[in-house]
Amino acid sequence: MTHQDYKEMLALQALSALDPPDESVLHEHLAACAECRRELDKWRASGSALAYAAQPVEPSAQARERILESVRAESGPSRSSPANVVQLAQASKRTSPVPRFEAIAAALVFVALIIGLAILWKQNRNAKTELARLTSQIEESRRALDQEHEALELLTHPDTRMAELAGTKDAPGAHAMLLFDHKTGRAILMARGLPSAPAGKAYQLWFMAGGRPMAGKVFTTDSAGNAMSHDQVPAEALGSTVFAVTLEPQGGVGSPTGPMYLLSPAHSSS
């Protein structure tokens, strides 16, 4: 959250209109930000001043007379004291300060402005969240398109070789395709249907050269078990037709230690 986001929350805080989670976040920020504390004090002072901004409105002569007549009718004549004294005393009790209509109107306008600000602030925050989500989706789609373009370019290159890998008993529904340039060693592995790797684990590609496995890169899958990994076939393994994928520690290992999930048809899966 930026400093401007906190400043937009101050007006709502002045009216105690923030949601509890937002209020908690703002309190943490206020503890370390003197500028926002000063601005919050100004908002609170503005709200208080509006309530007392207008002068009291005195009743008209007609309204005063109606009030006095009502008092006379309710209390009746008094013999113990002059009628005008009793009436004035009663009137002073019953004619409490007239509501300050201008102050109330100003306060209502202020509250309406704050409510509008609150709505706009929440809409703005929701719009930012949605924009971030859409931006992430666009970036993900762009990366996927770039990967597909690279795979298509490698697939159509005249020096490209292709090897298919089938799932073993640990992943019977999995399969993969390895594309590699047998001259430069540039390679792309496209896997589908692999189980999600446990925490701290990742899949690793292996190239067989002279009966000895040579380590490739580690990779992870998405939520659907799909992955695309760029790799480099070692020069010693450029003529290899045997490839495998095992489950290893996340940082990768120098020789396979975990169960095998994918294997090229040159070896039977077990």
* 229-242 confidence digits (pLDDT tens): 999 999 888 888 89
pLDDT at 4: 81
Write the DSSP symbol of residue 237.
G
The pLDDT, as a whole number, for residue 129 is 81
User: Residue 246: in which H helix or E strand, if any?
Assistant: strand 243-249
Indicate yes or no: pTM above 0.75. no
> What does the pLDDT average to over 195-211?
93
- Residue whose token pair is 């009793």: 86
Question: Would the pLDDT of 113 be above 90?
Answer: no
Task: Quote the crossing angle between the two packed helices 34-51 and 101-155, to the nearest 10°.
Answer: 140
Q: What is the mean pLDDT of residues 69-91?
A: 54
Q: What is the CA radius of gyration of the chain?
A: 39
Residue-averaged pLDDT of the chain = 79
Most confident of the ranges 91-105, 146-160, 178-192: 178-192
Mean pLDDT for 120-145 is 79
Helix (H, G, I), strand (E, B) or coil at 71: helix
Strands 212-219 and 160-167: unpaired
* CA gap 109, 85 in Å, rounded: 42
Question: Which region among 15-29, 105-119, 131-145 has the lowest average model confidence (pLDDT)?
Answer: 105-119
- The DSSP element (H or E) to which 217 belongs, if any, is strand 212-219
